[in-house]
Structure 1
Amino acid sequence: MAGNQTARAGDLVRGLGLPADEIAVSEEWGVAKPDPEFFRRVVELGRAAPEETVYVGDHPANDIVPARAADLRTCLIRRGPWGHLWAKDRPADWHIDGISELVPFLCGSSE
């Protein structure tokens, strides 16, 4: 799990005991979205090929466009009215309204 967050946010998320192998935040890396280095680090953290990595984000310019440029699979999570408008204008592999909707895509039971 990686996010464009502060080191403090990273510590707080780690403290939640989530079932994640690794948790990283941009401040610890010294690089932030939409810098291509952030997405290179995401792939490195996941230890999978870019095309086997899914990046979920809610902003086209900061999330979807640079993740696609890094050859990652992309999922736009629609939040509020802007999220629905952006979903029409920006291609992503998937569009969801909540993170739980991602599970069927990851398990191959939805297109």
Structure 2
Amino acid sequence: MMKAVLFDLDGTLLDRDQSVHRFIVSQYDRFSNYLDHIPVDTYLTRFVELDCRGYTGKDMVYSKLVKEFNIPGCNWESLYDDYFTNFHVHCVPFPNLIRMLENLKRNSLILGVITNGYHDFQLKNIKALEIKHYFDVILVSETEGIKKPNPEIFKRAIDQLGVSTEESIFVGDHPENDIAAAKSAGMTAIWKKDEGWSMDETKADFIIDDLLELCSIFEEMDAK
């Protein structure tokens, strides 16, 4: 019987694409005195390209933006600081996030989060989604000193929850960092489909499009 469910954050619980779009439009407005020679859609598109779905450091992203667009009077550090200060205000959850978490809690499942990134930044995003209280453990790579896909970070979370890997499920969107890594750690892995990533779908134990589908999966597993 499964006792614990752990989640990735970006692209799994947090709709990062929509959140980035909202944030960049807001940032453009805040820095309009420096950016108004650039169409907002151009600024947004180039940010997304350089960002590589969050896998490029924001120092590199903003330094390239300032150089490419020749932004006078504004250094990349100001834009960088604005990102870390204000991104959480624009966080967008995936549909049915709260309903799914409530359902799992009603079924006495222990919940957790394992995410790569900076601790304060990711914790602010979790709080902005108003979901922190649902989780019994939250591991962020900066604090742990290791990051996904290292299986040790999965095992560390499992140990803190007091369950075994065989009793645990991990839900994520990244084929290697989430699915392959969780399976390597001995967990059941559920892939939340993401158009930004492609993978051999046979690597995942289950596949979902919507978070609420998790509830049906648990009903199916309990019936066996």
TM-score with structure 2 setting the length: 0.43
How many angstroms does 1:32 deviate by?
A: 0.4
**Aligned-partner SS, 2:190:** strand
Partner Cα distance (1:5, 1:18) in 2: 20
**Aligned-partner SS, 2:171:** strand
How many angstroms does 1:42 deviate by?
A: 2.4
Larger mean Cα displacement after TM superposition, 40-49 or 8-17 = 8-17
TM-score with structure 1 setting the length: 0.79
Q: Which has the higher contact order (CA 8 A, sep 6+)?
A: 2
Residue equivalent to 1:105? 217
**Aligned-partner SS, 1:86:** coil
Partner Cα distance (2:216, 2:133) in 1: 20
Partner Cα distance (1:18, 1:87) in 2: 34
Indicate if the aligned counterparts of 1:58 and 1:78 stay in contact, CA closer than 8 A.
Answer: yes
Partner Cα distance (2:217, 2:119) in 1: 30
Indicate if the aligned counterparts of 1:77 and 1:96 stay in contact, CA closer than 8 A.
Answer: yes
How many angstroms does 1:99 deviate by?
A: 1.7
Match of 2:208 among 93, 96, 105: 96
Unaligned runs of 5+ residues in structure 2 are 1-111
**Aligned-partner SS, 2:199:** helix
Instruction: Return structure 1 stretches of 4+ with deviation > 6 angstroms.
Output: none
How many angstroms does 1:109 deviate by?
A: 6.0
Match of 1:27 among 128, 142, 145: 142
Partner Cα distance (1:31, 1:81) in 2: 24
Residue equivalent to 1:66? 181
- Matched ranges for 1:5-44 at <5 A: 5-12=117-124, 13-14=126-127, 16=130, 17-44=132-159
Residue equivalent to 2:86? none
Assess, with a 3 A threshold, how the Cα gap between structure 1 residues 96 and 27 changes in structure 2: closer, same or farther. Answer: same
The size of the alignment, in residue pairs, is 108
How many angstroms does 1:10 deviate by?
A: 3.9
How many angstroms does 1:11 deviate by?
A: 2.6
Assess, with a 3 A threshold, how the Cα gap between structure 1 residues 110 and 93 changes in structure 2: closer, same or farther. Answer: farther
Partner Cα distance (2:162, 2:179) in 1: 20
Q: Which has the larger radius of gyration?
A: 2
Unaligned runs of 5+ residues in structure 1 are none
Alignment RMSD (CA, Å): 2.4
